[in-house]
Structure 1
Amino acid sequence: MTSSSPESFLPLKPIQIGILDEAEPLKAVATWGAIGAEAVLTQCYPVHISLFHQSFDVVAARLEGLNYAATLQDHGIRVLMVRDLLADALTPKTSFKKEGVISAMLKKAKAVQDQYNTRVQDSNDLIATLVEQDITRYGEEKALSLNQALSIDPQLPLGNSLYGRDHMNVLLDARVVSRMAKDIRRHEVGLYELIYQQHLARHKTITIPSDETFEGGDAYIHNGTVFVGVGTRTTLGAAVSIYQDLKPQLEQYGLKFAIVEDDNPFGRSFGEQQESMHLDTFSNPISRKEIAVCVEEAQRRKIRFLNTVNGTTAISNGLGSFIDYLEKTEDNIAVISEEEQKGFGCNFLLKGENPDGDCTIFVPLRMNTETNNQLERMGKKLVYTNLLESTKGYGATHCMTGQLLREV
C-alpha cells in the first residue's frame, strides 16, 4: 500500500462499533491521515492557543500519518482516514481558485504571526507545497474545499485534528461524542462526526451537557472497570453524565465505573497540565490485567467509584490514589518514568491480547528505551511507528487513533 492510493482506505461497508476491554483485539479505527497546511497555520499561534508542544515538519508528519495508517491496516485493522473522507464528503465549490485559497491562507498566517510575534520558518512555501500535495491526492476542487474548511473558515485552524482519539470514545456499545475544552479544538468534532455518521453502522451516541467538557483521551475500559479521567479537559459533571447514560450496560456486563481525578488541575502550570492532560497520557493497559503507568501522576490522582443509591448517583470518597488501587488489582505494572512519560512513553496503542496471551503494541518512538525494553521483557511485541514529527504536536499513537471496534 502506498500513500498515493487513498482509495485503499475507503470503507467497503459500515463499521460496527463496540469496546468491552482495551485489551481485546483491535479491529477498526479512525485516523486523520494526511495532515496538511492546517498544521502549519496552527503553529503560527502561541503554544497556549495552538496547544502544540513544539514546531514540527508538517510535510514529514504527513508521511508519518500515512505510513501509520498503512501499518495499522497491514496488521488487519480497518482504517477510516478521516481527512481523505472529508475531501470526498465536503461539497466542492467550483468558484474556489487555487491562487485565491492559497493567498487567503498566507494572509491569515502573516496576520497571526504579526499579531503574536511568532515565526514559522518557510510558512509560505510550506502552505503552498501542502496545498499542491492535496491537489495531487484529491483533485483541485476537493482539495481547495478541504483547505477552506480546515484553515480559512474556522476562526482557528484545525491542525490538532491529527489527534483523532479526542473527538469521541467508544465505551461498551455506545459512542461518547466529545465536547472539547479548548477553543482551537471545538470545531474539529463536527467534521469528525460528519464522517462517523456516514461510515459507522447504527449505534447509540452519548452527548455531553453543554456546561461540561469531555475529551476522548480521558477514558478506557480495563480489568472490569470503565475509567474516566477528570482534570483539565474532562469535568466531573461530564463523567457523571456518561455514567448515568451507561448504567444499564454497566449492569448488563457487570462492570464498575471509576473516575481518576486530579482535584486541583488548574493549580498546575500550563506545561504540567499538557503533560498529563488525559488519562491516556500517563496510563495505558497492556493486557487484561496489566497496565503501564507513570507512578508520580497516578499518585497525584484519586480514584472514586460511581454507584446508584436509591435512584441517585453517589460518588465514593477516601479510596486512595490511582496507583494504590492499581497495585491491588493488577497482575503486573510497567512503571514509566516521568521523563519518558513526558516523551509519550505511556501513549502507545495496544493492538490487543490474542487468545494465546500474545500482545502487540504500536510504539510511537524508539527513544523511550527504558519503557520499550521493559515492555519487551514483559513479553510484548513492539511495532515501531516512528512518529518523530507527529508527536511534537502533543500526542502519539494512542492519541492519534480513534478506536471503534475491539472484539475477540
Structure 2
Amino acid sequence: MFNSRSSISISTFLSSLIGSIMRGRRSVRCGQTCEYRKARLILTHDPGEELFLGALHPAAALFREHIDIPELIAEHATYRKVLEEAGARVLTVRQILLDGTGADGKPADRTKLENLRRFAAGFLTFDTQNLSPETAGQQKEYRQSILAKTSPRDLVRIILRQPIIRLSETQINTGLKAEYSENPVMNLFYTRDQLITTAKGVVIGRMNSPQREKGCDILQFCLEKIGMKPLHRIEGEGAHLEGGDFYPFGDTAFIGCGMRTTQPAIDQLMEHDLLGCNRLVVVKDRLFSQAEMHLDTYFNIIDRNLVTLTARRMTTDPDSPDLLLADIYLRGANGVYTKTEEDVGFVELLRSRIGAAIIPISEEDADRLAGNFLTVGSRRIIGVAGQSEALRTELKHRGVKVTWVGLDNLCKGYGAAHCMTQVLRRR
C-alpha cells in the first residue's frame, strides 16, 4: 500500500536529487568504498501481493518453504524501520515508481506518469496468436487504451505481477474470452542481487535464474528515475553477476565466483574499470549449494579487521568441496587488471594479508542465516534474531553492536538482512 506520509519524505528527497541534475550534474552521486562504512542510502522493495503464487509453490519461486505473506510484509516494515533508526535513508521500489505520478493525491508530473505508463506496458502481455489478424490488430489498440486509463497504483501492480491475457474468439457475449496468468517478480524484495554498488557507482547485473530476470529492469528504471545512472549493464553469453557475491573493502574488493556469478561477468567489471579499487579477490566456490549460492551467505565483513565465515568453509582439505580458494588481480597504472596469483587459500589471505580476525559461524547458526547480516557502520550490524548464545557472546566480546530483528518469513527465500538491501551510498 502506498504510504502518504512516506510519499512526502520521498518526494522531498527525490526533488533534491532531481534538483542536482537540473543544476548541471549529469547524475547523482552513489557508491561505496567499504562495506563497514556508515550506511547512508539504502534501496529496498516492500513485498506485497506479488508473492501469492510463490506461497502456493515455494520451490518453483526459489523459496525454501511456505511463507505467511501478511507476516512477511510486517517483518519487512519492521526491518525498514530498524534501518532508518540506524541512520540510513531507506527508499523502496514502490515509492520510487509512484513518486510524482499523483498516487499521493498531489498533481501528477506528466513526464513521470507517462514514463511509468510506458515502462509498465512492457510487463503486460495480450497473447493474440489465436485471433484473426483483424481482431489481433484491434486488441493492440485496445491494450493501449486500457493502459492510458490505468491508475499509477495499478501500473505498479502490472510491473510486479506481469499479467498475461491469452485471448480467443467466441460467437457470444463480447466476442472474446481469455485465460489469465501472471509471472510475478516474487524475489524482488532481495534487492541485493540485481546490481552491485562499487566505489565508482552502480553496475546492473545479469541474473542466473530466469525467475529473477525482470528485477534488473525494474531496479534500473528506479535508479535512472532518481538520477543514479548505472555505469554499465552486464551482458553476453555466460556472463552473470549477482550482488550477493560482491563486497567493497577499501582498495580491495571481494567477489564470489560460482553458482550465480561467473568469470565472464567478473572480467567485464575489470575490462570496463568499474570497481574503483586496485586489488580484486575472486573467491572461487565449488560447493554449488542453493543455501550458499552467494558469497554473502557464508562470508561477511564487520570491520576493517573483523569478518565472519561459516566454520565448515574454513577447511584446508584440498579434496573438500567446502574449500575456498581465491585468484588475485591487481590493477596497473594503465587501468588494466592482471591476475597475479591463483588458488590462494582464502582463510590464510584474510588472516595474513587482510589482517582480519575471523569469527566462525557454526552450522546451527548458519542454518539460521547468522552470517547474512547487514553492516551499517564499523562494528555495528543488523542480524537475524534467534542465534546461539555462543555467537552472541563472541560478537559482544569483539565489541560488535548488534540489532537483532525477527525475519522468520523473509528468510525463507534463502536470504536475510544483507540480501534484502542495496546500499547505494556509504560514508
* Deviation sequence 1:162-211 (CA, Å, 0-9, x none): 10111111111221111000000001111111111111445x51221322
Count, aligned residues: 344
* Deviation sequence 1:244-263 (CA, Å, 0-9, x none): 2227833xxxx31110012x
> TM-score if structure 2 supplies the norm length?
0.73
Q: Secondary structure at the match of 1:160?
A: coil
Q: CA deviation at 1:371?
A: 2.8
| In the alignment, structure 1 residue 189 sits paired with structure 2 residue 189 | no
Q: Is the 8 A contact 2:58 2:66 kept in 1?
A: no
CA RMSD of aligned residues (A): 2.8
Structure 2, unaligned stretches of length 5 or more? Answer: 18-27, 102-112, 118-123, 127-149, 165-181, 316-322
| In the alignment, structure 1 residue 63 sits paired with structure 2 residue 79 | no
Structure 1, unaligned stretches of length 5 or more? Answer: 94-100, 105-139, 354-358
Q: Distance in 2 between matches of 1:182 and 1:285?
A: 26
Residues 74 and 318 of structure 1, relative CA distance in 2, 3 Å threshold: closer
Q: Distance in 1 between matches of 2:364 and 2:341?
A: 31
Q: Distance in 1 between matches of 2:397 and 2:335?
A: 47
Residues 331 and 81 of structure 1, relative CA distance in 2, 3 Å threshold: same
* Deviation sequence 1:69-99 (CA, Å, 0-9, x none): 1221222211111123224467688xxxxxx
Pairwise mapping of residues 3-402 of structure 1 onto structure 2 (< 5 A)?
5-7=5-7, 9-10=9-10, 11-12=13-14, 13-14=16-17, 16-33=29-46, 35-45=47-57, 47=59, 49-88=60-99, 141-153=151-163, 156-201=183-228, 205-211=231-237, 212-222=239-249, 224-246=251-273, 249-250=276-277, 255-262=278-285, 264-265=286-287, 268=288, 273-297=289-313, 299=315, 300-307=323-330, 313-328=337-352, 329-353=354-378, 359-402=379-422
* Deviation sequence 1:142-181 (CA, Å, 0-9, x none): 3332222212337632110010111111111221111000
Q: CA deviation at 1:63?
A: 1.5
Paired amino acid for 1:307: L
Structure ranking higher on relative contact order (CA contacts 8 Å, 6+ apart): 1
Q: Is the 8 A contact 1:349 1:362 kept in 2?
A: yes
Residues 9 and 364 of structure 1, relative CA distance in 2, 3 Å threshold: farther
Q: Secondary structure at the match of 1:384?
A: strand
Q: Is the 8 A contact 2:231 2:274 kept in 1?
A: no
Paired amino acid for 1:296: R
Q: Distance in 1 between matches of 2:72 and 2:5?
A: 18
Q: Distance in 1 between matches of 2:311 and 2:183?
A: 36
Q: Secondary structure at the match of 1:86?
A: helix
**Percent identity of the aligned residues?**
26
Q: Distance in 1 between matches of 2:405 and 2:386?
A: 9
Q: Is the 8 A contact 1:41 1:151 kept in 2?
A: no
> TM-score if structure 1 supplies the norm length?
0.77
Residues 334 and 403 of structure 1, relative CA distance in 2, 3 Å threshold: same
Q: Distance in 1 between matches of 2:6 and 2:291?
A: 33
When Rg is computed on C-alpha atoms for both structures, the one with the higher figure is 2
Return the structure number with greater helix share.
1
